[in-house]
C-alpha cells in the first residue's frame, strides 16, 4: 500500500532582495504538490526562465520546494510594484515589493519637502512674533528716551540755577543800578547795617 501524501497549500518560506550592480529578489515556496512561481512587474507577468531586456528570471524546483530569482539590470520606475506569487491547487501565497529608484526616492523627496515647509512656517512664526513684540519694543525705547530727556532737562536746569546764583553773587560794577528781589534787598540791608 502506498502512503497517502497530505496536500499542502503553497506557502512563502523565505524572501530577500539585494542591490549590487543589479537588483536581485528571491522567493522560496513550499507546498504539496510543488508550487509554481510567477513574477509580476507592474501588474504584467514576467516569463519564467527567460530574459526580457532588463529582466532575468531563474526558477528551480526540488521536491516540495520552489525557488525563483528575478534580476533587474535597469533602474525601476518610481513606485513600481514587483510581485512574487507561488501557487498550487491548494492555495496561493504572494509577496509584494515596492521598488524605489536610487536617483529620486520618495522618502528623500518627502524629507526635502518637509524641510522646506518647516523653514517657511518658522519664518512666518518669527515674523508674527516680531510684529507682536514691536509695540512693546517701541514703548520701551520711547520710555528710555523720555527718561534721558528728563535727566538732561533736570541737569540743565541745575546748571542754569547755579549760573544764576553765581551771577547774583558777583560784586556789583560801579555805576550800574542793582536790581534785586524783595528778599534779596532785605539781605543786602541787613548786611549794610552790620557793616556800619
Give tens-digit pLDDT for 156-188: 877 777 777 676 666 556 555 555 555 555 565
Confidence of residue 30 (pLDDT cuts 50, 70, 90): very high
Decide if 39 contacts 84 (C-beta within 8 A): yes
- For 32-55, b where at least 16 C-beta lie within 10 A, e where not — what string? bebbbbbbebeeeebeeeeeeeeb
Q: Give residue 145's pLDDT.
A: 92
Over residues 1-12, the pLDDT tens digits come to: 445 668 889 999
For the domain made up of 8-100, the CATH class stated in words is mainly beta
Q: Give residue 172's pLDDT.
A: 58
- Model confidence at 74: pLDDT above 90: no
Amino acid at each position: 500500500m502506498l502512503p497517502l501524501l497530505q496536500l499542502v497549500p503553497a506557502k512563502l518560506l523565505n524572501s530577500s532582495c539585494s542591490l549590487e550592480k543589479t537588483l536581485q529578489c528571491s522567493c522560496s515556496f513550499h507546498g504539496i504538490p510543488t508550487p509554481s512561481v510567477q513574477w509580476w512587474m507592474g501588474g504584467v507577468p514576467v516569463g519564467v526562465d527567460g530574459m526580457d531586456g532588463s529582466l532575468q528570471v531563474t526558477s528551480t524546483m526540488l521536491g516540495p520546494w520552489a525557488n525563483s530569482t528575478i534580476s533587474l539590470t535597469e533602474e525601476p520606475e518610481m513606485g513600481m510594484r514587483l510581485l512574487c506569487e507561488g501557487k498550487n491547487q491548494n492555495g496561493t501565497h504572494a509577496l509584494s515589493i515596492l521598488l524605489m529608484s536610487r536617483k529620486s526616492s520618495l522618502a528623500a523627496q518627502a524629507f526635502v519637502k518637509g524641510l522646506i515647509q518647516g523653514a517657511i512656517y518658522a519664518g512666518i512664526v518669527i515674523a508674527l512674533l516680531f510684529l507682536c513684540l514691536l509695540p512693546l519694543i517701541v514703548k520701551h525705547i520711547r520710555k528710555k528716551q523720555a527718561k534721558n530727556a528728563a535727566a538732561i532737562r533736570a541737569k540743565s536746569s541745575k546748571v542754569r540755577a547755579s549760573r544764576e546764583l553765581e551771577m547774583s553773587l558777583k560784586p556789583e560794577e560801579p555805576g550800574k543800578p542793582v536790581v534785586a528781589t524783595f528778599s534779596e534787598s532785605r539781605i543786602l540791608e541787613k548786611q549794610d547795617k552790620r557793616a556800619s
